[in-house]
Amino acid sequence: MYALVIDGGRPLEGQVRISGAKNAALPLMAAAILTREPCVIRGIPRLSDVAFMGRILTSLGASVRFNGGSVTIQASRIRGFADYDLVRKMRASVCILGPLLARLGHAQVSYPGGCVIGPRPIDLHLKGMRALGAEITIDGGYVCARAEKLRGAPIFLGGRAGPTVLGTANVMMAAALAEGTTVIDSAACEPEVVDLANFLNAMGAKIAGAGSPTITVTGVKELHGATHEVIPDRIEAATFAIAAAATKGEVTLTHVRPEHLRSVLDKLMEVGVEIFENGESLTVRAAGPFRPSDITTQPYAGFPTDAQAQMTVLMTQADGVSIITERIFESRFMHVSELARLGANIAIEGPSAVVKGPTPLRGAPVMASDLRASAALVIAGLVAQGRTRVRRIYHLDRGYEMIDAKLRKLGARVRRISE
């Protein structure tokens, strides 16, 4: 296992290129199995989750070839069975359900488990498939779905915590090959959903309204191969922007879509960070002091849950009390007890973290628990005086392409060691 050793206390300075979005790339790869023809996805980030999705598609019978920053997927023939040992390792693998059902009329996909950030149910995915006419049973830990013919239908996909991102993706993919028209209401509006709709349309699907709460999918008989470029990763961009601010540095992010980052940029400016936009690049500059803030995570275009942990670290440096409320995932505060080891003063009150700042952070060994919590610990390590060792960074490698190399380029003293 690898750890990152960070000698903190230096501002990040320079330029960093943001990679393609993990959360766009994974459903895009799944969508490629909707056709027998080859699909090329460019700007694919080199991440363990992406490699893993490749393995899942290979296990279904597809040919998956990575070549530099692109992947070519051809599913000439495909089988509809996805094994527990594969699916349990990555929750996003659930988004093969819709494509398999649409392509084959049946699918048997292991029921994904919960994860460290919460229980992560899939009831809305299944509700959507049922509405399209699939018969679904849960047998031996597998979701068994079958449909003679999928038929378009009105589907309300809102849940307890609002819309579902992968659920919307799954239903959109299944509906693309259904007979007739599907109208998804309370659809997720995330840019990753729009990216998927664009790819599906390039494959011959008829999808309108992606990016709004109502998506209309007019089913077509067949999809064909297409080439597509993944959108830049807004959460990686948010992470570097917050890291630049927290270390009181100045960083220019290139290959970003500022319009996907409004809620994060707005918060950063509110707490006293300067942001300069220039087309597809953004400069983040901070000298401190920072004002405290109240932040609530929400579905897009609200503040993303995937940037909550990182923002919590910045708020430890703000002058006063900040309240950070998590509304998407119930247990997404695993980073808080680790941040306390660095000296942060954070109390959990129900769904909120009450952060008292400013607190000087001091390096310590900490343990990564999930992807975004790990990113928060890295930012904290960059801020802290002295040495921080972030252990179990395989979480980080799931979602951040070459994060240590990118940070070194910005002047951080970061080393990867094997333990």
Angle subtended by helix axes 262-271 and 234-246, to nearest 10: 10
Q: Which stretch binds ligand EPU (CB under 6 A): 69-77, 123-131, 173-181, 283-291?
A: 123-131
Q: Distances in Å between the alpha carbon of 239 and those of 234, 269, 276, 409?
A: 9, 15, 17, 16
Residue number with CB closer to ligand EPU (92 or 246): 92
- Contact (Cβ atoms closer than 8 angstroms) between residue 335 and residue 377: yes
Question: Pick from 273, 328, 353, 366: which binds ligand EPU (CB under 6 A)?
Answer: 328
Q: Which amino acid is at 137?
A: T
CA distance 332 to 264: 18
Question: Pick from 371, 383, 396, 410: which binds ligand EPU (CB under 6 A)?
Answer: 371
Q: Which stretch binds ligand EPU (CB under 6 A): 40-48, 163-171, 225-233, 315-323?
A: 163-171
Which residues in 176-205 contact ligand EPU (CB under 6 A)?
188
Q: Which stretch binds ligand EPU (CB under 6 A): 122-130, 199-207, 212-220, 338-346?
A: 122-130
- Shortest separation between residue 403's beta carbon and ligand EPU, angstroms: 14
- Shortest separation between residue 22's beta carbon and ligand EPU, angstroms: 6
Question: Pick from 3, 4, 18, 26: which binds ligand EPU (CB under 6 A)?
Answer: 26
Question: Strand 106-110's sheet: what is its strand order?
Answer: 81-82, 106-110, 142-146, 135-139
The two tokens of residue 61 are 């019978």
Question: Pick from 166, 230, 286, 361: which binds ligand EPU (CB under 6 A)?
Answer: 166
Question: Pick from 3, 30, 73, 124: which binds ligand EPU (CB under 6 A)?
Answer: 124
CA distance 174 to 164: 15
Residue number with CB closer to ligand EPU (248 or 335): 335
Q: Which stretch binds ligand EPU (CB under 6 A): 116-124, 193-201, 260-268, 346-354?
A: 116-124
Nearest-5° Cα angle at 93, 90 to 99: 175
- Write down the catalytic residue from 95, 115, 144, 189: 115
Judged by CB under 6 A, does residue 152 bind ligand EPU? no
Q: Which stretch binds ligand EPU (CB under 6 A): 114-122, 142-150, 204-212, 382-390?
A: 114-122
CA distance 246 to 314: 5
Residue number with CB closer to ligand EPU (195 or 404): 195
CA distance 169 to 162: 15
N-terminal to C-terminal alpha carbon distance within the chain: 6
At 239, is the secondary structure helix, strand, or coil?
helix
The two tokens of residue 270 are 């509110």
Judged by CB under 6 A, does residue 123 bind ligand EPU? yes
Question: Strand 345-349's sheet: what is its strand order?
Answer: 294-296, 320-325, 352-357, 345-349
Residue number with CB closer to ligand EPU (165 or 339): 165
The closest alpha carbon to 314, from 264, 348, 386, belongs to 264
What does the per-residue mask of binding to ligand EPU show for 285-324, with x meaning CB under 6 A? --------------------xx------------------
364 contact partners, CB below 8 Å, separation of at least 6: 341, 342, 384, 388, 389
Which residues in 386-405 contact ligand EPU (CB under 6 A)?
399
Q: Which stretch binds ligand EPU (CB under 6 A): 76-84, 113-121, 138-146, 175-183?
A: 113-121
Strands (E), 179-224: 181-185, 206-208, 214-218
Query: Count residues contacting ligand EPU (CB under 6 A)?
Result: 26
Residue number with CB closer to ligand EPU (96 or 124): 124
Residue number with CB closer to ligand EPU (93 or 317): 93
Sign of CA dihedral 101, 105, 110, 114: positive
What does the per-residue mask of binding to ligand EPU show for 69-108, with x meaning CB under 6 A? ----------------------xx----------------
Q: Is 115 a catalytic residue?
A: yes
Q: Name the DSSP class of 294.
A: E
The two tokens of residue 139 are 């047998």
Residue number with CB closer to ligand EPU (107 or 364): 107
Sign of CA dihedral 108, 114, 119, 120: negative
Strands (E), 196-241: 206-208, 214-218, 227-229
Residue number with CB closer to ligand EPU (131 or 364): 131
Query: In the complex, which residues of this chain contact ligand EPU (CB under 6 A)?
Result: 23, 26, 91-92, 118, 120-125, 159-161, 164-167, 188, 305-306, 328-329, 371-372, 399
Residues annotated as part of the active site: 115
